Amino acid sequence: MTVSPRVTVWNEFQHEQKNPKVAAIYPTGIHGAIAQHLQSEGFSVQTATLDQPEHGLTDAVLAQTDVLIWWGHVAHDQVQDKVVDKVHRRVLEGMGLIALHSSHFSKIFKRLMGTSGNLKWRDSGDRERLWVIVPGHPIAAGLGECVEIPAEEMYGEPFDVPTPDTLVFISWFSGGEVFRSGCCYRRGRGQIFYFRPGDQAYPTYHQPQVLQVITNAVRWAAPAA
Amino acid sequence: MTVSPRVTVWNEFQHEQKNPKVAAIYPTGIHGAIAQHLQSEGFSVQTATLDQPEHGLTDAVLAQTDVLIWWGHVAHDQVQDKVVDKVHRRVLEGMGLIALHSSHFSKIFKRLMGTSGNLKWRDSGDRERLWVIVPGHPIAAGLGECVEIPAEEMYGEPFDVPTPDTLVFISWFSGGEVFRSGCCYRRGRGQIFYFRPGDQAYPTYHQPQVLQVITNAVRWAAPAA
Amino acid sequence: MTVSPRVTVWNEFQHEQKNPKVAAIYPTGIHGAIAQHLQSEGFSVQTATLDQPEHGLTDAVLAQTDVLIWWGHVAHDQVQDKVVDKVHRRVLEGMGLIALHSSHFSKIFKRLMGTSGNLKWRDSGDRERLWVIVPGHPIAAGLGECVEIPAEEMYGEPFDVPTPDTLVFISWFSGGEVFRSGCCYRRGRGQIFYFRPGDQAYPTYHQPQVLQVITNAVRWAAPAA
Amino acid sequence: MTVSPRVTVWNEFQHEQKNPKVAAIYPTGIHGAIAQHLQSEGFSVQTATLDQPEHGLTDAVLAQTDVLIWWGHVAHDQVQDKVVDKVHRRVLEGMGLIALHSSHFSKIFKRLMGTSGNLKWRDSGDRERLWVIVPGHPIAAGLGECVEIPAEEMYGEPFDVPTPDTLVFISWFSGGEVFRSGCCYRRGRGQIFYFRPGDQAYPTYHQPQVLQVITNAVRWAAPAA
């Protein structure tokens, strides 16, 4: 295991620049919030966004990334195929990938899954509980039996993805739905973790347990030495 | 696929004989209700109960059973190990097994799983929704996107079983829990389906969609010709 | 289960037109040999090839196909992305797909897997034995414990695909390699089977046991009614 | 991850005391050879054998064991059920288990698998090649693409075990068989690894690559901190 994985946090960074409510929640962007947390955990972290040349994911950046975190929502189509090709290749070579929330529809996640990524959704501030299905799994380390998020966008089944190699979390929503919220995959030499929370309209990535999951997932997804 | 699988419905048949409320729901026993439905679907069905010699599961009965349905709750320990050995052997040879509800703690289910079968539970008449996770799966045939049961005992994660080969249903409970309610396994040549509903205190096995799942599961679990 | 699945056998049909040795083995093309067999089994069968308009896979053809069989080798890049998109969508909707031999590098298979499809290979006429790993699986119906092919191209591990939902066959090669030769996947509502044999230089698709596997796989991959 | 897992190597230790040829290969027993290697890797190691009180697996020993290695062959039936119960419980609680070679028929392995553990075998000194199926998996760390063992007992499919969560190695045998030789399972909180080599009649546990796999498996099977 790499002693300290090098993490790149990629964010399309659109909502935060256009919507004052989102900017108020994430003044330095979703990537900023996640990066700051991971730095405080001792990881070597950089960020990259859509508007940068090559979306900030140059060959040099990718070559020095052990784990790539991905957040996208309204601008999936603006991500260049050439960059997706490179990220895909790096994952197959062993770079870990953590796909967050609406990244279920990102080009890179769909490329790796081979499916549509379709799901149900409703933006009504449901209460969400992420139940730990595999107690003792490294991605659930330090959590209790469930993580409760006071208000979130709802995602519901069926979620059109391949059966996860390991299903770590299942979400319960107050409105009546369930969702496979923590899904582990291996593709080539790369470890992939899909993690359902955080919609841009809620301060989910400020919640300590959610950040704990991301920390755990980075350690899990990092390539073996 | 056997054109018409021969089904044996096994029930410990204790609650119905001791508790008038349960007897009122299932006058012919839980086994009677399920058997009657399966007969109406054209299957060849027999029943067997704990109090019968060899619990009704003689070599002759087992030899002529393609799919065994199992319901037990308060009398798991009274099932003779010798009978469990025989049922186990038949499953490995190819007999299908459908383990219902509290049978998660039956000797035969624990023998086949290798785990404790532990779970959370609460008998508070929760509303339950079984969401279909694998649309198009034969066990979900003829259902909509979910099956709603007005009141049931709650079962919650973590459920101590091996990762299912296929997870067909996840339950949502109004009290805030989730559960892997439809779990497919293959052990030896035998197909096994664990199906979470119905507690003896609720008329769950009179609900058409629940019976549809059992019908589907019988077809799925029957050995290939 | 569809009583009689409608099958379309797609072949790039290049070797047979350019190489007299291959033409001698498959005078009506690889697609012709497979189609003829499936017709004799009572299936409704049509064929399609690369050179036809839209590669023979028009909307009308795809709409009436329950199971698509795919053989490609030297012309993967000539398959139009637009056609691949349509086939991909149909698989996610429920059309079965059987990818044969060198189709591990076809656009449609790589799209569905999300991986490179890389493997080892050597064209040295190795003796191959396909061992049945899951006795009683419908795709192994009617076979003995293994299928021996006198001479074939060798494919060796590592095979860069996601872990199969079910691994039905593992091949042994006389030169010292092994290969996961029968791999089942579900993507969306579609069932996918990758089957390793047969290279165009060997009469593999004339061998009864190999044809039996294809027959079995068609029945397995057909969508539920 | 426990910095240095505490390992207990259990061996029935029968062949070595009764058969001079085996004793010549393993003068300190199979357990001695494995323990010596693991000590040289810096692990804290103890051994236990059948003839000791409680087979050397007292509550105190089990409580201080992070990973238990098991080798048994001719004396499976002499292992007391009470001890098997305790080991089983400890695995579900999180103790790792590495089951070696003929331990496929041990009580503890069958208890955890729920199947018969049946397989084919032939003691003819076949050449064996263990191919790495999942490059980059921690259990394959430091190996090349395959491990070749000059002479071993042959084990062949079908191997009656549940589908492994991860299949790390597939063996090729010179006599014509294949075998799933490195199988990962999770049961409860416990990680289980079945590793096929080495029969008592061959010096397999003196081969550096085989010992490397055992080292890797100990690290993989150790419970998360």
Residue range C10-58, pLDDT digits in tens: 999 999 999 999 999 999 999 999 999 999 999 999 999 999 999 999 9
Chain B residues whose beta carbon lies within 8 Å of the beta carbon of residue C186: 134
- Give the model's confidence band at C4: pLDDT under 50 very low, under 70 low, under 90 confident, else very high: confident
User: Which of A119, A126, A128, A133 is the best mutation test for B, with the most CBs of B within 10 A?
Assistant: A133
d(CA B172, nearest CA chain D) in Å = 23
Return the residue matching tokens 């020993």.
D61
Contact yes or no for C92 and A115 at CB 8 A: yes
Q: Which of A136, A165, A189 sits opposite D189 (nearest CB)?
A: A136
Residue D164 sits at the chain C interface (C-beta within 8 Å): no
Which stretches of chain B score pLDDT less than 50?
1-2
∠A190-A193-A194 over CA atoms, to 5°?
135
CA distance D68 to D46: 10
D160 touches chain B (CB under 8 A): yes
Residue carrying structure tokens 């059948």: D50
Q: Which residues contact D216 (CB under 8 A, 6 or more apart)?
A: D138, D139, D140, D141, D142
B189 and C94 in contact by Cβ < 8 A?
Answer: no
How many Cα atoms occupy the beta-carbon half-sphere of B126 within 13 Å?
A: 23
Contact between B29 and B11 under an 8 Å Cβ cutoff? The reply is yes
Which residues of C are less than 8 Å from A114 in CB distance?
A: 111-114, 187
- What would the pLDDT profile of B72-111 be if each residue is shown by its tens digit? 999 999 999 999 999 999 999 999 999 999 999 999 999 9
**C6-117+182-221: what CATH class?**
alpha beta
Please tell me the distance from the alpha carbon of residue A129 to that of residue A178, in angstroms, as a whole number. 9
Smallest Cα–Cα separation from C223: which of C202, C180, C192?
A: C192
Chain B residues touching C94 at Cβ < 8 A:
136
Q: Which of residues 39-98 of C touch B (CB under 8 A)?
A: 94
Taking CA–CA distances from C135, the nearest residue in chain D reads D158
Residues of A in contact with D225 (CB under 8 A): 141
Closest partner CB to A178 (pick from B156, B163, B172): B172
* Yes or no, beta carbons of C116 and A165 under 8 Å apart: no
Are B138 and C223 in contact (CB < 8 Å)? Answer: no
Alpha-carbon gap: D224 to the closest alpha carbon of chain B (Å)? 18
| B&D contacts, CB < 8 Å | 34
Is residue C1 scored above 80 in pLDDT? Answer: no
Residue range C118-146: mean pLDDT, rounded: 97
User: D63: burial class by Cβ within 10 Å (0-12, 13-18, 19+)?
Assistant: exposed
CA-to-CA dists, residue B201 to A114, B25, B152, D33, D128, angstroms: 44, 8, 8, 58, 58
B172 contacts in A (CB within 8 Å)?
172-173, 176-178
Chains near C (3 or more Cβ pairs under 8 Å)? A, B, D
Does C160 sit within 8 Å of A92, measured CB to CB?
A: yes
Chain-chain contact of B135 with C165 (C-beta, under 8 angstroms)? no
- Nearest-by-Cβ selection for D141 from A138, A141, A224: A224
Q: What pLDDT sits at residue D1?
A: 44
The secondary structure element, H or E, covering residue B20 is: helix B20-25
Torsion, CA C15, CA C19, CA C21, CA C24, rounded to 10 = 70
Predicted complex ipTM: 0.96
- B136:C165 CB<8 A: no
pLDDT digits (tens, 9 = 90+) for C184-214: 999 999 999 999 999 999 999 999 999 999 9
Kindly list the partner chains of chain D, i.e. chains with 3 or more CB atom pairs below 8 Å.
A, B, C
The DSSP bridge pattern shows strands B178-187 and B190-195 to be antiparallel
The whole-number average pLDDT for the span C132-158 is: 97
Task: Quote the pLDDT of residue C225.
Answer: 62
D60/D62 Cα distance (integer angstroms)? 6
Spell C48-68 as b/e; 16+ CB within 10 A means b: bbbeeeebbbeeebbeebbbb
* pLDDT number for residue A26: 98
**Peptide linkage before D208 cis (omega within 30 of 0):** no
- The yes-or-no verdict on residue D137 having pLDDT over 50 is yes
What integer pLDDT is reported at residue B78 of this predicted model? 98
Cα distance between residue B149 and residue D10, in whole Å: 50
Interface test with C, best of B91, B163, B189 (most C CBs within 10 A): B189
Count the alpha carbons within 13 Å of C66 in the hemisphere toward its beta carbon: 19
Distance from CA of C157 to the nearest CA of D (A): 6
Q: How many residues does chain A have?
A: 225
Q: What is the pLDDT of residues D37-46, one digit of tens each?
A: 999 999 999 9
User: How high is the mean pLDDT in each 10-residue block of chain A (225 residues)?
Assistant: 83 97 98 98 97 98 98 98 98 98 98 98 97 97 97 98 98 98 98 98 98 98 86
CATH class as words, domain D6-116+182-221:
alpha beta
Tell me how far apart the alpha carbons of residues B82 and B108 are, in angstroms, rounded to a whole number: 11
Q: Are strands C178-187 and B67-71 parallel, antiparallel or unpaired?
A: unpaired
What are the extents of the domains in chain B? 6-117+182-221
The answer to whether A69 and A49 have CB atoms below 8 angstroms apart is no
Task: Name the DSSP class of A141.
Answer: T
The answer to whether residue D2 scores a pLDDT higher than 70 is: no
